[in-house]
Amino acid sequence: MPVVDETSAGGLVIKVREGVPWVAVIARRNRAGNIEWCLPKGHLEPGESAEEAAVREIAEETGITGRLVTGLTSIDYWFSTGDRRVHKVVHHYLLEYVSGEVTVENDPDQEAEDAAWFPLDKVSRMLAYPNERRVVAIALDLLYPEANV
Quick one: pLDDT at residue 148? 60
What does the H/E/C string look like for 27-60? EEECCCCCEEEECCEEECCCCCCHHHHHHHHHHH
| Stretch 109-124: mean pLDDT | 90
Higher pLDDT, 81 or 45: 45
pLDDT for 75:
94
Domains with residue ranges and CATH for the chain: 3-148 (3.90.79.10)
Its pTM stands at 0.90
Q: What is the pLDDT of residues 49-83, one digit of tens each?
A: 999 999 999 999 999 999 999 999 999 999 998 89
Radius of gyration of the chain (CA): 15
- Say how far apart CA 104 and CA 110 lie, in whole Å: 8
Rounded CA-CA distance 22/12 in Å is 9
